Structure 1
Amino acid sequence: MRPRSILLFERIFLVYVLSGLASGIWSMLHISSFVPAGMPPRMMAAMPVFMIGGVIGTLVVDLLLWFFIARRGADIARWIFVILFALGVVGVLRSLFGHPQFMLPAMVMLITVARLVLDGICTALLFRPDAVRWFKGQRMPGDLGDTFS
């Protein structure tokens, strides 16, 4: 039986993944609102392909992380998730307070910040005591699996 922290992680992570898909779709539909002026026509024509590839690639990585964290209890997947979260924090802070080449629309930034919060909650859940025991492969207290064997 999976611990409560992992079950919560799984539910919140599903919202995280769905919000990423929503952000990607919204971005593709509104591509002209954040493409810098003067972009060469060939690059503009290639943007949807790169955006679709990015959405699909992100979805694949998210689903692999979900599977290995929430279903297999792979500790290495947990640490990959933490590293990606840290990189996400740096990226969001840079886009909010740095001087990017172009500004993302407010809707995309709002979804990005909301996703970062969800990602932070998921990361915290992976380090609760019941989750740590589960990643170590230890039995959960109250697990009655061997009671009648």
Structure 2
Amino acid sequence: MIKPASIIKFDRLYLAALVLGAVNFAVELGSLSDRLAQIPEYIANGFGTGILIASFIAGLAINLLIWFFISVRASKVAKWILVALFAIGLVQMVRSFGHALGPQGFSLAVTLVITGLQAAAIYMLFRPDALSWFNRNPPVDPDTFR
């Protein structure tokens, strides 16, 4: 079955958000590590740069797995998992604004752009051609009725 336009747009938006997130993480890693080193609770528990990198890689792997199941396998379950994770992420983002490890300055602006890209990507999953994709109904070619 040929991918509908909405799923192709989802691919582009979602993967762009992942790439932008990776670039933001790489740019902000030093600053984030410095801020982490100033919090006694994290130092006492042995949290450092390694845990940041491991968490990022695990999150990226989960996101790519969800993308695969949505884009390649047309999984409704993966779509709803993504929606749930996005909602949880929105709540966590709002809660992190006052936290020492929350995004600040340019990183905050990039985080808001990433969130916008993710929201637009999720919107694409609910368009009529995407719903046909998830129901495994091939789209009707308009030229058939000419």
State the TM bucket, normalised to the shorter chain: 0.7 to 0.9
Q: TM-score, normalised by structure 2?
A: 0.85
Give per-residue Cα distances to partners, 1:34-63, cap 9 Å, x unaligned: 336353795597411111111101110111
Change (3 A) 1:48 1:32: closer
1:70 aligns with 2:71: yes
Cα RMSD after superposing both structures: 2.5
In structure 1, the partner of 2:11 is 10
User: Contact conserved, 2:37 with 2:48, CA < 8 A, in 1?
Assistant: no
Unaligned runs of 5+ in 2: none
Q: Percent identity?
A: 28
Structure 1 distance, partners of 2:134, 2:73, is 9
* Alignment-mate amino acid for residue 49 of structure 1: G
In structure 1, the partner of 2:110 is 111
User: Contact conserved, 1:69 with 1:75, CA < 8 A, in 2?
Assistant: yes
User: Contact conserved, 1:65 with 1:77, CA < 8 A, in 2?
Assistant: yes
SS at match of 1:2: coil
Change (3 A) 1:132 1:103: closer
Structure 2 distance, partners of 1:14, 1:50, is 24
Unaligned runs of 5+ in 1: none
* Alignment-mate amino acid for residue 35 of structure 2: F
Q: How many residues align?
A: 143
